[in-house]
Structure 1
Amino acid sequence: MSSTPAIKPSALQADNKKAPVSTSMPEHISLDKWADAGFEWSGEVEPNSFDRLAATLSTEHEQSKTQLDAHLYRRNNVLHLAFTLTGEVWLTCQRCLQPVAIDLSDDYDVALLENDSQVRSVNEEQDYLLLDEVVTEQSPERLLPFKKLVEDEILLKTPMAPKHDDCEMSVEQFGEIPEEEESENPFAALASLKGKL
């Protein structure tokens, strides 16, 4: 009998699937733990789980989950939060007051800078934030507000006044519109006197 333990294939190798990191979207990412090692999260997110976004969502249409694939990584000594959103949200059209679908599908990439000197390390088109402004909670470890940053980007993607491309403005009338009474023109009396004086 051999003293070497038998190597069993892991469930990941057997199923050839990626194991989920977590079933629910994390509120924060520990920078002390993951800034250098990198962090990945994938899953479906309910649009109503974002507090500020939920206030703008249409209540007349069922919201479907959006797919989120996020990756925290370091490139050229600059920390980046990149994520891909796939899905849509339903807002209220400001013309007809009916639900309108807003597509959120896009790739997002935000550079997280330690200080202003790192601005030279990112492209001019690159969105960036200073970590000191983002990591504001006082705790023993530096926590990146992951969920809040994703929600910020979603809110920037959604229009302030959503509307269908082709719809008429909704006008509701309550009661009868009173007919205007014909009133006598005050200058008509002066016109009649013009020839007499």
Structure 2
Amino acid sequence: MSSTPESKPSALNPDNKKAPVTNSMPEHISLDKWADTGYEWAGEVEPSSFQRLATVLSTDHEQTKTQLDANLYRRNNVLHLAFTLTGNVWLTCQRCLQPVAIDLSDDYDIALLENESQVRLVNEEQDYLLLDEIITEQSPERLLPFKKLVEDEILLKTPMAPKHDDCEMTVEQFGEIPEEEESENPFAALASLKGKL
């Protein structure tokens, strides 16, 4: 599926410039270029293209592409990164060691704050990050680590110990189980004395 990133129409952007068309998910978004005009990207993403996620994916099941629709926009003078994921990943069940599907489908919206004084501009339930803490690359322009932020949210959504809801743990038995010897009930002797005293 081809993706068509484009900027949102804006009064600040009368020409309605378009972001360059790319087929693969961008690693970064230039905030110098797109923070005021907005940025959109949609496409299908291979789960294995995320480095940290790839280490926990099941190798016993074919992974399917995940649909990602992302939007960088400004609201109340606060920059937001919103995206919708649709799809699942296959991890290894920690009980039966068979593949288990984990649904990633959800809507995410992260406020990207210039400084802590902007916290009052977002709702209490709103997830937020400080731009100074997430923009770590030294370059002439400010680059938002778009792919890393999406991967962070995916990793938060995946369980640390995935398992099927109705999973029975497989137990392998080696050798024969010894039969328990019937031992004499210690209270049987007391019961026999009951009528004699």
Q: Answer yes or no: same fold by TM over 0.5.
A: yes
Identity between Structure 1 and Structure 2 (%): 85
Matched residue, 1:8: none
Matched residue, 1:69: 69
Unaligned runs of 5+ in 2: 1-18, 182-197
For residues 64 and 108 of structure 1, the distance between their equivalents in structure 2, rounded to whole angstroms, comes to 21
Decide whether aligned partners of structure 1 residues 132 and 20 sit closer, same or farther in structure 2, where only a CA change above 3 A counts. closer
Deviation at 1:47, TM superposition (A): 0.2
For residues 169 and 42 of structure 1, the distance between their equivalents in structure 2, rounded to whole angstroms, comes to 40
Matched residue, 1:91: 91
Residues matched between the structures, number = 164
Deviation at 1:21, TM superposition (A): 2.6
Decide whether aligned partners of structure 1 residues 84 and 181 sit closer, same or farther in structure 2, where only a CA change above 3 A counts. closer
Matched residue, 1:107: 107
The residue matched to 1:91 in structure 2 has which SS? strand
Matched residue, 2:175: 176
Matched residue, 1:13: none
Runs of 4+ in 1 over 3 A off after TM superposition: 177-182
The residue matched to 2:41 in structure 1 has which SS? strand
For residues 141 and 20 of structure 1, the distance between their equivalents in structure 2, rounded to whole angstroms, comes to 17
More helix by share: 1
CA contact (8 A) 1:20 1:42 kept: no
> Which residues of 2 match residues 37-186 of structure 1 at below 5 A?
37-173=37-173, 175-176=174-175, 179=178
One-letter amino acid matched to 1:118: Q
- Structure 1 or 2, whichever has the larger Rg, is 1
Deviation at 1:20, TM superposition (A): 8.5
1:129-176 CA-partner distances (Å, limit 9, x unpaired): 000000011011010000000000000111111111101112234x42
Unaligned runs of 5+ in 1: 1-18, 183-197
Decide whether aligned partners of structure 1 residues 86 and 158 sit closer, same or farther in structure 2, where only a CA change above 3 A counts. same
For residues 20 and 28 of structure 1, the distance between their equivalents in structure 2, rounded to whole angstroms, comes to 13
For residues 91 and 20 of structure 1, the distance between their equivalents in structure 2, rounded to whole angstroms, comes to 34
Per the normalisation by structure 1, the TM-score is 0.79
For residues 106 and 177 of structure 2, the distance between their equivalents in structure 1, rounded to whole angstroms, comes to 52
CA contact (8 A) 1:47 1:66 kept: yes
